């Protein structure tokens, strides 16, 4: 079950797509740290099933907020994740 995160009244599901490689793990760690730094209580969902990954992204690692792919094929920095997440949440308001 996917656990949404709350930012004010806004709910977001964050998915990390990857098979467990070092880049995918670093992406997970960076997203987790960004969420913590923004003060969001979240359970970040790791998607490791190859078939499910293929439905979402062509290249791992990948990150999605709700149903929107925001990073694909690169390890985003903590700051990049924070910027994208803040921007995404502002658009949803």
| Candidate list 3, 4, 6, 21, residue with the active-site label | 21
| Candidate list 24, 47, 53, 89, residue with the active-site label | 24
CA–CA separation, 92 vs 55, rounded Å? 24
Does 56 participate in catalysis according to the annotation? no
- Joined tokens for residue 52: 């499910």
Q: Name which of 61, 81, 56 is nearest 21 in CA terms.
A: 61
Does 24 participate in catalysis according to the annotation? yes
Q: Name which of 89, 37, 85 is nearest 63 in CA terms.
A: 85
CA–CA separation, 52 vs 8, rounded Å? 30
Catalytic residue numbers, as ranges:
21, 24
């Amino acid at each position: 079950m996917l656990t949404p995160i709350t930012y004010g009244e806004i709910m977001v599901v964050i998915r990390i797509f990857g098979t467990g490689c070092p880049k995918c793990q670093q992406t997970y760690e960076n997203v987790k740290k960004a969420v913590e730094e923004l003060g969001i209580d979240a359970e970040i969902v790791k998607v490791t099933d190859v078939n499910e990954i293929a439905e979402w992204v062509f290249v791992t690692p990948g990150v999605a907020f709700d149903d929107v792919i925001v990073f694909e094929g690169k390890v985003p920095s903590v700051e990049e994740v924070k910027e994208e997440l803040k921007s995404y949440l502002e658009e949803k308001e």
